[in-house]
C-alpha cells in the first residue's frame, strides 16, 4: 500500500444485482494505487438472499422503498423490518464467499454487502468508489442513492460519490449476484469455480476537481524509437498544459489538451528495452496543471514475421504455463500481491518466460508483478466455449469487459497478447462476434498482438489441421489439444503431424493430463503422477516436430477448483491437471517440463 493511503474511520456498504444489465459505471480511473486512496478492504456485513427478497417484491418488480439498499431500521417497537445488516453475517473483502463458509461452498445467487464509513472530503476535491471486481453482477448504492451497476466478474469499475458522501455515517451497499445464465459472459458452462462476491480490492479514490483520468504511454509499433500515446483529463478545466516526463531517460514533453481534455503525443525517445532477461522499467510521470500521477512502465516492441514472434526485433520462443486465479496454498480465489508473487514465482521456477492468464482477466497484481519479474503475459476475456453469439447485449457485454481490461493493463510491458476467446465453435455467428471484438482491441491498443485459443481437427488418423477461419483475423494462433488425455493414450502423439493454413506463429495454448499428487503407479495408470509425466514426455517429443511452433502454455500450473470434477478421492471438485498440487507440492511432470524449458532457453537465449 502506498504512503498516501488514508485510514478508514469505521466501515462501508455496497450492493449488486443479478438482472441482465449493461455496465453503467463511470469512466475507469487508471493506476488507482498511485492516487490518494482509502482502503475499504476488511470485514463487511453480509445478508444471504437466494430469493432476492431485498430487491424484488412477490410480483418480481423492484421494491418501491429501495429494499435492503435503504438500510432501514424499525421506527418504533411495532415497525416491521425483516432484515438487519448490523446483526447479519460477516464476510472478508477482498474474498469470495464460497471459501469463507461451508454453507456457501456451492452457493450461486445474491449476497448483499454493507460497510459504514466516515469521510471528510476537502472542498474542491472529488471522491470515487473503486472496485477491482465483483462477480458477477453488481448494483451499488451509497446512503440509499443508487450509483449504478456493473456486469462482468473480473474487471474493475468505479462510481463518483462526491455529491453523496457526508462527513460521518455513510453506508455503502452492494447487491452481488453470481448466478450463471445463458446470455452472460461467461455463459452457463465453465470448468472453473464460480467464486462469488467482492473478490478484489475496494478503494475510495480522492482526486482534484480536474484530474488525470487515463493515459497510454508505449512505444510506437511502427517506429520503435518513437514514444506514442495520449492523455485524458476529467473535470471542468479540460484545456491544460500537461507535461510527460521520464526523468531517468531525460524525456520531457509538454502537451496541450483540447476542449475534451484529450491530448495525443508522438516523439523520439531513447529508452532501454524491457525483456524477460532484463525487465527494465522507468518511472513515468504525467503532470497536468491541476493533478499529477506516476507509475513504473517498461518499453518493448512485439511483432510477427512469418512464423516468428519478435520481441524487441529478435525471435523469441514462449516457454509458458497457464494459470487460473486459484489461491495458492489455500482454498478460494487469488486476490493479493502475495498470491500473485507465489504463482508467478512458481512459473519462474519452471523456467518459464511466459504465462497465460486463463480464462478471464486476473487481478492487477499479476500483470504489475509480471512487469517486475520479467514474465510475458497472454490475457483474455471469458468468451469461453458457448456464448449467445447472436444476442446483441452479450456482444456489448464482451466488448465492455475487453475495454475494461485493456484500459486497466494497457501500460504493462509484460502484456503482449490479448486473447479474444477459448475453444469456441466455428460458426458464422461466432466469427462475426469475435471479429467485432478484434476491432475493439485494435482500436484501443494498436501496440499488442491478438490471439485466441482455437481447436484443430483431424485430416486423417495421423494429421491435425489448423484452419479455423477466425485465424485470419489474428496475429498469433493459439490451439488447445489433449492428445494422450482426452484423445487416446500418450503414445498416440508419436505418430501425429501438424499442418496449418496460416503463416503465423503458433502457440499450443493447452495440453496436459490429470494426476493426484502422491498417487503413483505405472505410466499407463490414469490419475498417477507417472501417467501425467508420460503424457508430457510424448507431447514434448511431438511438439519438437512442429516447425511453426513458437511457444506453449500447458494446462496448468496448479490444481484448481471446478464443479465439473466430482470424482471422489481423486478429484473432490478439483481439476487435477496442475503441475503443482493445491497444497503447493510439485508433481513429476513439473520437472519434465522444467528440464525441457531449460533446453529451449539454451537454444533461443
Tell me: the pLDDT tens digits for 26-81? Answer: 999 999 999 999 999 999 999 999 999 999 999 999 998 899 999 999 999 999 99
Asked whether residue 528 is assigned to any structural domain, the reply reads no
Tell me: the pLDDT tens digits for 286-316? Answer: 999 999 999 999 999 999 999 999 999 999 9
Asked whether residue 402 is assigned to any structural domain, the reply reads yes
Are 405 and 388 contained in the same domain? yes
Q: What is the pTM of this model?
A: 0.93
Are 263 and 364 contained in the same domain? no
pLDDT band of residue 605 (cuts 50, 70, 90) is: confident
Asked whether residue 273 is assigned to any structural domain, the reply reads yes
pLDDT band of residue 2 (cuts 50, 70, 90) is: very low
Which CATH number does the domain housing residue 440 bear?
Answer: 3.20.20.80
Q: Single out the residue of 571, 434, 470, 456 nearest to residue 509, CA to CA.
A: 456
Which CATH number does the domain housing residue 57 bear?
Answer: 2.60.120.260
Q: Single out the residue of 277, 287, 265 nearest to residue 219, CA to CA.
A: 265
Are 245 and 148 contained in the same domain? no
- Domain count for the chain, please give it: 3
Of 16 and 205, which is predicted with more confidence?
Answer: 205
- How would you class 14 by CB atoms within 10 Å of its CB: exposed for 0-12, middle for 13-18, buried for 19 or more? buried
Per-residue pLDDT, 222: 82
Tell me: the pLDDT tens digits for 316-372? Answer: 999 999 999 999 999 999 999 999 999 999 999 999 999 999 999 999 999 999 999
Are 47 and 168 contained in the same domain? yes
Q: CA–CA separation, 501 vs 466, rounded Å? A: 7
Q: Are 174 and 130 in contact (CB under 8 A)?
A: no
Mean pLDDT estimate for the chain = 94
pLDDT at 214 over 60: yes
Residue found by looking up cell 470434477 in the block: 565
Q: CA–CA separation, 559 vs 561, rounded Å? A: 7
Are 464 and 448 contained in the same domain? yes
Per-residue pLDDT, 223: 85
Average pLDDT over residues 483-511: 98
Asked whether residue 381 is assigned to any structural domain, the reply reads yes
Are 227 and 374 contained in the same domain? no
pLDDT at 21 over 90: no
Are 136 and 234 contained in the same domain? no
Q: Which of 182, 208, 234 is the last residue of a domain?
A: 208
pLDDT band of residue 7 (cuts 50, 70, 90) is: very low
Are 365 and 290 contained in the same domain? no
Q: CA–CA separation, 187 vs 204, rounded Å? A: 31
The Cα angle at residue 394 between residues 114 and 365, in degrees rounded to 5: 50
Q: Which of 148, 177, 208 is the last residue of a domain?
A: 208
Asked whether residue 39 is assigned to any structural domain, the reply reads yes
Are 378 and 410 contained in the same domain? yes
pLDDT band of residue 224 (cuts 50, 70, 90) is: confident
pLDDT band of residue 23 (cuts 50, 70, 90) is: very low
Residue 435 corresponds to which cell in the numbers above? 471479429
Asked whether residue 9 is assigned to any structural domain, the reply reads no
pLDDT at 532 over 70: yes
Are 190 and 71 contained in the same domain? yes
Are 248 and 105 contained in the same domain? no
pLDDT at 4 over 80: no
* Residue numbers of the domain that contains 455: 305-511+548-557
Are 457 and 502 contained in the same domain? yes
Asked whether residue 533 is assigned to any structural domain, the reply reads no
Per-residue pLDDT, 595: 98
Per-residue pLDDT, 249: 94
Which CATH number does the domain housing residue 280 bear?
Answer: 2.60.40.10
Asked whether residue 575 is assigned to any structural domain, the reply reads no
Q: Which of 247, 277, 300 is the last residue of a domain?
A: 300
Per-residue pLDDT, 286: 98
Amino acid at each position: 500500500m502506498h504512503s498516501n493511503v488514508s485510514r478508514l474511520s469505521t466501515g462501508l456498504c455496497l450492493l449488486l444485482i443479478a438482472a441482465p444489465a449493461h455496465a453503467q459505471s463511470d469512466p475507469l480511473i487508471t493506476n488507482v494505487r498511485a492516487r490518494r486512496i482509502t482502503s475499504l478492504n476488511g470485514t463487511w456485513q453480509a445478508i444471504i438472499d437466494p430469493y432476492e427478497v431485498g430487491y424484488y417484491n412477490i410480483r418480481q418488480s423492484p421494491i418501491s422503498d429501495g429494499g435492503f439498499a435503504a438500510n432501514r431500521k424499525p421506527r418504533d417497537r411495532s415497525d416491521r423490518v425483516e432484515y438487519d445488516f448490523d446483526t447479519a453475517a460477516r464476510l472478508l473483502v477482498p474474498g469470495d464467499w464460497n471459501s469463507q463458509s461451508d454453507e456457501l461452498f456451492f452457493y450461486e445467487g445474491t449476497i448483499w454487502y454493507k460497510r459504514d464509513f466516515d469521510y471528510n472530503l476537502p472542498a474542491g476535491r472529488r471522491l470515487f468508489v473503486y472496485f477491482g471486481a465483483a462477480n458477477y453482477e453488481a448494483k451499488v448504492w451509497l446512503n440509499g442513492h443508487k450509483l449504478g451497476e456493473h456486469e462482468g466478474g473480473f474487471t474493475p469499475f468505479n462510481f463518483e460519490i462526491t455529491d453523496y458522501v457526508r462527513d460521518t455515517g455513510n453506508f455503502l451497499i452492494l447487491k452481488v449476484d453470481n448466478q450463471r445464465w445463458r446470455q452472460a459472459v461467461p455463459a452457463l458452462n465453465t470448468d472453473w469455480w464460480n467464486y462469488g462476491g467482492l473478490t478484489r480490492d475496494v478503494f475510495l479514490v480522492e482526486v482534484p476537481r480536474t484530474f488525470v483520468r487515463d493515459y497510454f504511454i508505449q512505444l510506437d509499433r511502427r517506429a520503435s524509437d518513437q514514444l506514442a500515446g495520449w492523455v485524458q483529463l476529467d473535470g471542468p478545466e479540460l484545456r491544460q498544459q500537461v507535461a510527460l516526463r521520464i526523468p531517468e531517460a531525460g524525456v520531457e514533453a509538454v502537451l496541450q489538451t483540447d476542449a475534451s481534455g484529450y491530448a495525443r503525443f508522438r516523439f523520439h525517445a531513447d529508452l532501454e528495452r524491457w525483456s524477460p532477461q532484463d525487465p527494465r522499467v522507468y518511472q513515468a510521470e504525467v503532470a497536468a496543471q491541476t493533478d499529477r500521477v506516476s507509475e513504473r512502465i517498461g518499453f518493448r516492441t512485439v511483432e510477427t514475421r512469418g512464423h516468428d514472434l519478435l520481441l524487441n526485433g529478435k525471435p523469441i520462443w514462449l516457454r509458458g504455463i497457464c494459470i487460473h486465479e486459484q489461491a495458492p496454498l489455500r482454498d478460494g480465489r487469488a486476490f493479493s500481491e502475495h498470491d500473485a508473487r507465489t504463482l508467478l514465482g512458481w512459473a519462474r521456477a519452471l523456467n518459464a518466460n511466459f504465462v497465460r492468464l486463463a480464462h478471464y482477466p486476473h487481478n492487477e497484481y499479476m500483470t504489475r508483478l509480471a512487469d517486475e519479474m520479467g514474465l510475458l503475459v497472454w490475457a483474455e476475456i471469458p468468451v469461453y466455449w458457448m456464448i449467445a453469439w447472436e444476442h446483441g447485449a452479450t456482444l456489448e457485454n464482451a466488448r465492455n469487459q475487453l475495454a475494461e481490461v485493456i484500459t486497466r493493463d494497457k501500460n504493462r510491458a509484460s502484456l503482449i497478447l490479448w486473447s479474444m476467446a477459448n475453444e469456441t465453435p466455428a460458426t458464422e455467428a461466432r466469427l462475426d462476434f469475435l471479429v467485432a471484438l478484434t476491432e475493439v482491441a485494435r482500436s484501443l491498443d494498436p501496440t499488442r498482438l491478438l490471439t485466441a485459443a482455437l481447436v484443430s481437427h483431424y485430416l486423417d488418423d495421423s494429421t491435425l489441421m489448423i484452419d479455423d477461419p477466425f485465424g485470419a483475423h489474428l496475429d498469433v494462433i493459439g490451439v488447445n489439444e489433449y492428445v494422450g488425455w482426452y484423445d487416446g493414450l500418450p503414445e498416440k502423439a508419436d505418430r501425429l503431424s501438424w499442418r496449418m493454413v496460416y503463416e503465423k506463429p503458433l502457440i499450443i495454448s493447452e495440453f496436459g493430463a490429470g494426476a493426484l499428487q502422491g498417487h503413483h503407479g505405472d505410466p499407463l495408470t490414469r490419475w498417477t503422477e507417472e501417467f501425467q509425466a508420460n503424457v508430457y514426455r510424448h507431447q514434448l517429443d511431438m511438439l519438437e516436430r512442429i516447425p511453426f511452433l513458437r511457444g506453449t502454455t500447458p494446462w496448468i500450473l496448479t490444481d484448481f477448483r471446478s464443479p465439473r470434477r466430482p470424482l471422489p478421492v481423486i478429484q473432490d471438485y478439483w481439476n487435477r491437471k496442475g503441475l503443482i498440487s493445491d497444497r503447493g507440492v510439485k508433481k513429476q511432470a513439473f520437472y519434465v517440463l522444467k528440464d525441457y524449458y531449460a533446453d529451449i532457453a539454451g537454444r533461443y537465449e
